[in-house]
Structure 1
Amino acid sequence: MAYLYVDELDKVAHESGWQSDAWVRRLEQFDAALDGFLRGLPGDVGVIITADHGVVDVASHQQIMLDARPELLRDVIEIGGEPRFRSLYLRDGADPAAVAAAWEQAEAKRAWVATREEAIASGIFGPVDDAVAARLGDVIIAARKLVAYYRSDDSPSALAMIGQHGSLSEDERGVPLILAGALAGSGFVGAVAEVARTRIAGA
């Protein structure tokens, strides 16, 4: 078995967005290279082509600066995660439910807000060991709309990023799965789908 990760599409998506001409050109280059690779394969070799995540484009005017909302950060001592999925870590004694309620009132149209316990109970992380749960933020902010939550002191490279992922939208969580070579037309996709259905049902 051999594994190959091609990162060009991901890089261009972050820099220019997946809807950009630059991303389309890189996709076409990858497609042409893949076609040549598949044509040269021995007949008994199968290929699985997939991705590790999806992506959405977030324009600069859709960036929301967290530190411009001091009333929502009163009990927050650290902000973790990434722009589309933030973890808020609270001071000792702060009430996560109250902080989450304030964020819900302010951002419900743009973000899904939950306390750590609510997020774990929803199953979005899958099974969570107690030792791992403590690392999660006291309050979770996950973007619903095409927005991203930044701090004004984030790095220029982070602020310049257009293509983003990490939240719960279908565009970010959905990944392609293509079979080629000896696996084309096999029952592999059906088997993967059945495993996914089983896990979702058990969540």
Structure 2
Amino acid sequence: MTLAQHLGAAGLSLPNYGRKDLGAVLPAALASVGAGHVVKGRNAESDRQRLGLPRARHVVVVLLDGLGHLQLDARRGHAPFLRSIESGIVTAGYPTTTAASLAMFGTGQPSGRTGMTGYTAMNPDTGKVANLISWENADAPEEWQRQPSLLERAAADGFTITTLGKRRFAGSGLTQAVLRGGQFVGAESLAERIDVALGAARQSGVSYCYWGEIDAAGHRYGWESEQWVAALEDADRELRRLASQLPRGAAMVVTADHGMVDVTDAPRWDAGEHAGLLEGVRLTAGEPRALHLHLNEGADAAGVVERWRNILGKHAAVVTKEDADAGGLFGPILPEVSGRIGDVVVAMSGRATVVDSRTQSERSMALIGVHGSLTPEELQVPLLTASGD
């Protein structure tokens, strides 16, 4: 069976790489303001046309962490403004997780090129698991992620670039790795960020605004919770204000980095306690919905694949790195990135997870909402656009 067939049997599908994917959003925005020429590795003007973004003097790009298309659709009554401006669907890359998705957004490239291969990834230089959110055990940001930052290239070419986020994210490893460049403005609340974005929109250029509260509520309470709905309503209200006050000639585009599934009462295995899952596996990385299995020296990858398939059954697609590469799961895999991808790759289906109590905290294993795999709930994210009068 091919990779696509393995995924399809598990109810999963490949990302729409190179076309309507998350990596098209920032190139399209840059093309809208006349900066498409700074994008390398994809055609920014084609991205703009494909996504339907207008020519503009300024584009505000908003990324709502954790807002999948299907979750938004299910709660449409709580987000009437966002639903009114939804213009399409794009896919995240694999894995559908924040580190990989922000890298794809910031560079236009999939994780096989950026090396942002999960929430955690094995650092081949040390053999330790690096956390690509906290940046613990990872190399210097510019060494770990070598693809050019599109914001940095646009700023270097004279375009006004503004990034809005929590003050603690300024200069963080993840920011430096994938979203460096331009002016970073720290603003704690979404309302504050919208105020800054409206000021920036009076100038030509691009501003980027990140909002993580929807994802945080989903992780802790689940996306079907009242807390998640409240976070969605907050975003809907503030983005309505942004759209209504955009200066003439400015536009906004809203998207997300991934969706989410709730896993309460769903099948779960602990790789740290299951003998069959442990056999031949030196360490696990990634996350409970998208695992990298790094094997002991001399271990038979085909044998590990067979054991994991027998144990997980219909709840996962399990393939070797070679099959994942041949099928384009991570996009083209660069040599300097290859060691961060597991010898065996596991994409979970339905709402099932595999945790590892040897390396994960009780808190992380208790999360209700999770993501990382390739179900429609995780893979599909909304594309929403509006323009100033």
Quickly name the TM-score band, shorter chain normalised. 0.7 to 0.9
One-letter code of the match for 2:366? A
The answer on whether the counterparts of 1:72 and 1:102 sit within 8 Å (CA) in structure 2 is yes
Q: Does 1:165 align with 2:371?
A: yes
2:244 matched to which residue of 1? 39
CA distance, structure 1, for counterparts of residue 322 and residue 229 of structure 2: 41
CA distance, structure 1, for counterparts of residue 234 and residue 340 of structure 2: 41
Report percent identity of matched pairs.
38
The answer on whether the counterparts of 2:301 and 2:343 sit within 8 Å (CA) in structure 1 is yes
Name stretches of at least 5 consecutive residues in structure 2 with no aligned partner.
1-205
1:133 matched to which residue of 2? 338
Q: Deviations over 1:103-152 (max 9, x none)?
A: 11221310000011111111110011122122211111110120111123
Q: TM-score by structure 1 length?
A: 0.85
The offset of 1:60, in angstroms, is 5.3
Aligned Cα root-mean-square deviation (Å): 1.6
CA distance, structure 1, for counterparts of residue 286 and residue 231 of structure 2: 29
CA distance, structure 1, for counterparts of residue 280 and residue 352 of structure 2: 23
1:149 matched to which residue of 2? 354
Q: TM-score by structure 2 length?
A: 0.45
The offset of 1:98, in angstroms, is 1.0
Q: 1:72 and 1:157, CA in 2 relative to 1: closer, same or farther beyond 3 A?
A: closer
1:190 matched to which residue of 2? none
The answer on whether the counterparts of 2:258 and 2:371 sit within 8 Å (CA) in structure 1 is yes
Highest relative contact order (Cα 8 Å, sep 6+), 1 or 2?
Answer: 1
One-letter code of the match for 2:365? L
The answer on whether the counterparts of 2:249 and 2:387 sit within 8 Å (CA) in structure 1 is yes
CA distance, structure 2, for counterparts of residue 124 and residue 27 of structure 1: 31
The answer on whether the counterparts of 1:60 and 1:162 sit within 8 Å (CA) in structure 2 is no
Q: Deviations over 1:38-58 (max 9, x none)?
A: 111112110000001111111
2:208 matched to which residue of 1? 3
2:296 matched to which residue of 1? 91
SS of 2:279's partner is: coil
1:19 matched to which residue of 2? 224
Equivalent residues in 2 for 1:103-142 (5 A)?
103-142=308-347
The answer on whether the counterparts of 1:14 and 1:164 sit within 8 Å (CA) in structure 2 is yes
CA distance, structure 1, for counterparts of residue 266 and residue 325 of structure 2: 32
Q: Does 1:178 align with 2:384?
A: yes
Q: 1:88 and 1:169, CA in 2 relative to 1: closer, same or farther beyond 3 A?
A: same
The offset of 1:61, in angstroms, is 5.1
SS of 1:176's partner is: strand
- Count of residue pairs brought into register by the alignment: 183
SS of 1:108's partner is: helix
